Structure 1
Amino acid sequence: MKDDVYDYDQQLYDRSFLNCYQRQAMVLYLTGIGYSPAQAGLVVTGFGVGSIAGTFVGGSVTGRFGARAVIVWSMVLCSVSIAGLAAVTAIVPLLIVGFAAGAFGQMYRPAAATMLADLTPPRRLVMMSAASRFGLNLGAAIGPLLGVWLAAAYSYQVVFVVNAVVNLIFAVVVLLVIPAGSGRRAREGAASDDAGPKDTARYRDLLRDGRYLLFLAGMFLTAVAEVQYQSTLPLEVQQRGYPTALYGALVALNGALVILVELPLTTLIQRFSMRTTVATGCLLLGVGLSLFGLPFGVWILILGAVVWTLGEIISAPSIGAYPAIAAPSPALRSRYIGALSTCQAAGWAVGPSIGTVLFQYVGGAVWVMCAGLGILACLGMRAGVRDLIAHEERARTA
């Protein structure tokens, strides 16, 4: 089982290797073939809406068909959709294919997290969540470099084709490496012994868990704040007259710290309660982003990046592990995970619009907003997160 988990984490790394460059490539490709920035943005928005739908649906189909089957089919269909981006040029087909690529590309996320939870004992899940993030962040660091090289040396169509091939390889690896019976605890929890698998869990069952809804609200607020580093921070750097390379350096600093520090630091962080780590991390993330609005030179931008990254490192592994632990039954596990992914994707989708409008009309108010969102997210997480592992451990040793 341990080897299955680490093999699976390596597959996540392979999966993320090019996909992190996908949205940027779509914008540059579409404007390069003659579409306006607004039209390109419309297609990327369709991709984002598809991502939200995909994570939501992914939670349901994982409970019905199992994590392994959902990962394989979502990657196969995502591969076809991404290849379609290189084949169509009319705006309506691009919107359809972009939506499909976003939906199928994100449908695997609840399935992947469910499989990881099924293969990992609860007390190790935070550490394995950090290991999974290590693979994803390493891919996110390398992917854009490879994407830029492919686009410069060949074309953006080649970027999409290679991306499609990577997704297809990921599906094949999961099909061949992950045993057919892996990650089925959620289905077995909803199955009867004589009638085969019956998925009776629904998303509406989650609505009765008020504390988990507070956790989801905190996650949405955190995502709205966090995405400002992608949409508004480059505008802030540009407005202050700094070179674009400074923005790249700040983002690279974030990625480097996460890759180098998160895994070893998680061995210490997981000793604290999930409520403490999640709430503290969300607060630090919002405060770190708010420092970008202070007019104290380059050093305050660097400090902001460090504090924001520290908040991400402290909170993200526990946030990734919590839904599987909080689900009251294995049958609901994929829905709890899917709800988290959906709220996060929704925050990433609406955050740029909110942040850029505030930046254009109210200036530094966007960074004040980040501080406020961090405080609200911290309060929501403090009220919503249960220390379930601690309770189980006390009961076991009593």
Structure 2
Amino acid sequence: MTGTPQAPADEAPAGVIRTLRELPRPAIVLLFGIALNRMGSFVALFLVLYLTGLGYSPAQAGFVLTGFGVGSIVGTFVGGSVTGRFGARVVIVWSMLLCGLSTAGLAAVTALVPLLIVGFAAGAFGQMYRPAAATMLAELTPPQRLVMTSAAGRFGLNLGAAVGPLLGVWLAAAYSYQVVFAVNAVVDLLFALVVLLVIPAGAGHRAPEDPAAPEDPAAREDPAAREDPAAREDPAAREDTADREDTADREDTARYRDLLRDRRFLLFLAGMFITAVAEVQYQSTLPLEVQQRGYPTALYGAVVALNGALVILVELPLTTLIQRFSMRATVAAGCLLLGVGLGLFGLPFGPWVFILGAVVWTLGEIISAPSIGAYPALAAPTPALRSRYIGALSTCQTAGWAVGPSVGTALFEYVGGAVWLMCAGLGVLAYLGMRAGVRDLVPR
């Protein structure tokens, strides 16, 4: 990995303590709110168990869960669009309010078709806030701190993901699945209330002339592509350029066709989609692999626990170092390691190969994920397009996670270990795509 040019001391990458200390209060509140919301999100974990407990077949329960997943894809896409039009705060509040009502509805209806509709709505509104929250964090965070802020946000999400299932299991055992969904709904409503009362209206909206706002991506590549020398020397040309940028920044109707012209960002999105297809195999296909080899289910649990523990314990301190390297190199290398680590699960050796694969896969996640989370906000050519770039990332990841299980389990059933060879191959493809697509942006 090659280093980026040295930044001034006050703009240099900082550790997590300094980053959090320098963030405005709305950003801190948002980070805590995201972690709390993740801790109280139970629908995807317990929906199948709840429905089979009502007497539905596994296939019918899976059908409703699929509706929830489709809603999640739609929600992330729509979230990026409506955030650009109405603002991040409005979208977060309304999506959490509607998600809370939808989740409560799951405990109130029992017929299959209403369950499918309510499940779709819960998935859509539950994911719609993600592009809005990421957009608000990007607008509240200085660009040179965005990678570390992304890592801090992931720490909260992973901590919530570790604690949430334990809380959900206790609620289900002590009370009922209806109580589980009711608690989920209350947490959503609390998140909406906190954002409404604590984060002021207009928080995170940068004025177009703010020098910290992203510029044309090509102009932020270092050092080859800078602003046009003629525009730099000619005050009239510079003023005309500024006027055009101000007009573009004020546009509420920036459309996805502007994003589709950014071919390098499309390569980044393609890399994220195939990385997500590979990554989700640890949920769908890895337990089948462990079972087929005759190992106890505890081995699968140990692999997943090792991944979660390493991310929680190592990612934040390691990001302090990683953020000093080229963003292109960290994203590309991380995606490669993630695919190769998953590919190791297919090697015909003892149980230790699963531990080795988990370590390599997790290292790839730790190296790439904070930069991936920060990249769309930095790559967007104007603030008006920022939420759409972020929403496009979320949509591609969610689509990959939705498609991956079907592809992986089918390969596992008919071609055996080919699924792990596929993961390694997808890692190589993602590496090549990220090397070609990710710009080495200089945060300004």
> Shared fold by TM > 0.5?
yes
Aligned CA distance change for structure 1 residues 369 and 186 (closer, same or farther; 3 Å): farther
Q: Secondary structure at the match of 2:40?
A: helix
User: Which of 20, 35, 38 is the matching residue for 1:13?
Assistant: 35
Q: Secondary structure at the match of 1:388?
A: coil
Aligned CA distance change for structure 1 residues 187 and 240 (closer, same or farther; 3 Å): farther
**1:7 Cα deviation after fit:** 2.2
User: Which of 404, 423, 429 is the matching residue for 1:376?
Assistant: 429
2: distance between equivalents of 1:218 and 1:187? 31
Show structure 2 runs of 5+ residues with no match. 1-22, 214-242
Q: Secondary structure at the match of 2:341?
A: helix
The question of whether the paired residues in 2 share the 8 Å contact of 1:191 and 1:197 is answered with no
**1:27 Cα deviation after fit:** 0.6
Q: Secondary structure at the match of 1:179?
A: coil
Aligned to 2:410: 357
Aligned residue type for 2:125: F
Q: How many residues align?
A: 389
TM-score (norm 1): 0.95
Aligned to 1:332: 385
Q: Moved runs in structure 1, 4+ residues, more than 3 A?
A: 185-194
The question of whether the paired residues in 2 share the 8 Å contact of 1:237 and 1:247 is answered with yes
Per mean C-alpha deviation after superposition, the further-off stretch among 179-188 and 127-136 is 179-188
User: Which of 330, 337, 345 is the matching residue for 1:277?
Assistant: 330
**1:176 Cα deviation after fit:** 1.4
**1:32 Cα deviation after fit:** 1.1
The question of whether the paired residues in 2 share the 8 Å contact of 1:186 and 1:330 is answered with no
* CA deviations over 1:321-365 (Å, ceiling 9, x no partner): 000000000000000000000000000000000000000111100
User: Which of 307, 313, 322 is the matching residue for 2:375?
Assistant: 322
Aligned to 1:73: 94
The question of whether the paired residues in 2 share the 8 Å contact of 1:58 and 1:109 is answered with yes
1: distance between equivalents of 2:207 and 2:346? 45
The question of whether the paired residues in 2 share the 8 Å contact of 1:66 and 1:187 is answered with no
1: distance between equivalents of 2:261 and 2:172? 49
**1:124 Cα deviation after fit:** 0.4
1:211 aligns with 2:264: yes
Aligned CA distance change for structure 1 residues 364 and 193 (closer, same or farther; 3 Å): closer
**1:140 Cα deviation after fit:** 0.1
2: distance between equivalents of 1:314 and 1:267? 11
The question of whether the paired residues in 1 share the 8 Å contact of 2:334 and 2:363 is answered with yes
**1:178 Cα deviation after fit:** 1.1
Aligned to 1:167: 188
2: distance between equivalents of 1:198 and 1:368? 46
Per mean C-alpha deviation after superposition, the further-off stretch among 342-351 and 199-208 is 199-208
The question of whether the paired residues in 1 share the 8 Å contact of 2:268 and 2:433 is answered with yes
User: Which of 292, 300, 305 is the matching residue for 2:353?
Assistant: 300
Aligned residue type for 1:48: G
The question of whether the paired residues in 2 share the 8 Å contact of 1:63 and 1:186 is answered with no
Percent identity between the aligned chains? 80
Aligned residue type for 1:260: L
1:181 aligns with 2:202: yes
Q: Secondary structure at the match of 1:247?
A: helix
Aligned residue type for 2:170: W
The question of whether the paired residues in 1 share the 8 Å contact of 2:250 and 2:384 is answered with no
1: distance between equivalents of 2:144 and 2:250? 28
2: distance between equivalents of 1:192 and 1:105? 34
User: Which of 31, 43, 48 is the matching residue for 1:22?
Assistant: 43
1:54 aligns with 2:107: no
**1:26 Cα deviation after fit:** 0.2
Aligned to 1:342: 395
2: distance between equivalents of 1:186 and 1:353? 45
2: distance between equivalents of 1:207 and 1:162? 40
The question of whether the paired residues in 1 share the 8 Å contact of 2:76 and 2:124 is answered with yes
Per mean C-alpha deviation after superposition, the further-off stretch among 235-244 and 315-324 is 235-244
The question of whether the paired residues in 2 share the 8 Å contact of 1:279 and 1:377 is answered with yes
1:230 aligns with 2:283: yes
2: distance between equivalents of 1:204 and 1:48? 26
Aligned CA distance change for structure 1 residues 186 and 241 (closer, same or farther; 3 Å): farther
**1:18 Cα deviation after fit:** 2.3
* CA deviations over 1:375-398 (Å, ceiling 9, x no partner): 0001000000001117x5xxxxxx
2: distance between equivalents of 1:155 and 1:277? 44
Aligned to 2:218: none
The question of whether the paired residues in 1 share the 8 Å contact of 2:251 and 2:384 is answered with no
Q: Secondary structure at the match of 1:25?
A: helix
Aligned to 2:171: 150
Aligned residue type for 1:14: L
2: distance between equivalents of 1:282 and 1:4? 32
Q: Secondary structure at the match of 1:216?
A: helix
Aligned to 1:99: 120
TM-score (norm 2): 0.85
**1:6 Cα deviation after fit:** 2.0
1:3 aligns with 2:25: yes
2: distance between equivalents of 1:266 and 1:192? 33
Per mean C-alpha deviation after superposition, the further-off stretch among 1-10 and 336-345 is 1-10
Aligned to 2:4: none
**1:244 Cα deviation after fit:** 1.3
1: distance between equivalents of 2:39 and 2:370? 20
User: Which of 314, 318, 326 is the matching residue for 1:261?
Assistant: 314
Larger helix fraction of residues: 1
1: distance between equivalents of 2:44 and 2:289? 21
User: Which of 32, 45, 63 is the matching residue for 2:66?
Assistant: 45
Aligned residue type for 2:359: V
* CA deviations over 1:42-71 (Å, ceiling 9, x no partner): 101000100000000000100111000100
Aligned to 1:366: 419
